[in-house]
Amino acid sequence: MWVAISKESGCVKSAFCSCTAGMGQTCNHVAALLFRVESANKLGLTSCTSLPCQWKVPAATKVVPTKIKDLTIRKSRHGQEKTRPLVSNLKNQFKPLESLNIDRNTFIDELRKAVPNACLLKGTDIPEVLPLENSQELGQQACEVEAYRYAGIRMSASEK
């Protein structure tokens, strides 16, 4: 909303409001604004921009200029919190746990008894490779059956 008023005569030259009636340059909003301006003028009120800041009043304490070398910089809660050294000595106090000498196979056997389908056991059931002298010749079909069995795929009776 805006209103253009002549300084010399005080006559309204033009007015605008974004409401539907304001498109014709006359509405209750424009009239209310003009009444408010007239009331403020009669009471001798000034605009808020002509006065000192009232919503953020400056602090009552005066800040005295001083040299940087003479400044003491500290927290507002100085002395209320525990201080800590600039260089921590926590790294020196660290004592790692000693490793337990447990046999890997014993651990895996105990785990298999407690939790038979633990995901950690998935990689431990890989069969050992037999030496070549203990091996026997298998046909193509026997190799395919073994591969399917190892992969966990069931074969129908006709495929065997």
Helix (H) / strand (E) element for 4: namely: strand 2-5
Does 23 reside within a domain? Answer: yes
How long a stretch of residues is the chain?
A: 160
| In the predicted structure, residue 8 carries a pLDDT above the cut 70 | yes
Range of 39's domain? 2-50
- Most confident of the ranges 19-28, 35-44, 101-110: 35-44
CA atoms within 13 A on the CB side of 27: 15
For residue 79, what pLDDT is reported?
66
Does 147 reside within a domain? Answer: no
Does 156 reside within a domain? Answer: no
Torsion of CA 115, 119, 121, 125, to 10 degrees: 130
Helix (H) / strand (E) element for 143: namely: helix 140-151
pLDDT digits (tens, 9 = 90+) for 97-119: 777 777 878 888 888 889 888 88
Does 92 reside within a domain? Answer: no
| In the predicted structure, residue 38 carries a pLDDT above the cut 80 | yes
For residue 133, what pLDDT is reported?
63
Does 159 reside within a domain? Answer: no
For residue 111, what pLDDT is reported?
85
* Nearest alpha carbon to residue 107 among 122, 92, 120: 120
For residue 137, what pLDDT is reported?
67
Does 20 reside within a domain? Answer: yes
| In the predicted structure, residue 125 carries a pLDDT above the cut 60 | yes
For residue 159, what pLDDT is reported?
55
Does 90 reside within a domain? Answer: no
Does 61 reside within a domain? Answer: no
Reported pTM: 0.32
CA atoms within 13 A on the CB side of 53: 5
> 157 falls in which pLDDT band (50, 70, 90)?
low
Kindly state the tokens that stand for 148: 């399917």
Better-scored residue on pLDDT, 123 or 117:
117
Count of domains for the chain = 1
With 0-12 / 13-18 / 19 or more C-beta atoms within 10 angstroms meaning exposed / middle / buried, residue 148 is: middle
pLDDT digits (tens, 9 = 90+) for 126-156: 666 666 666 666 666 666 767 667 666 665 5
pLDDT digits (tens, 9 = 90+) for 58-96: 777 787 888 888 887 777 776 676 766 667 777 778 777
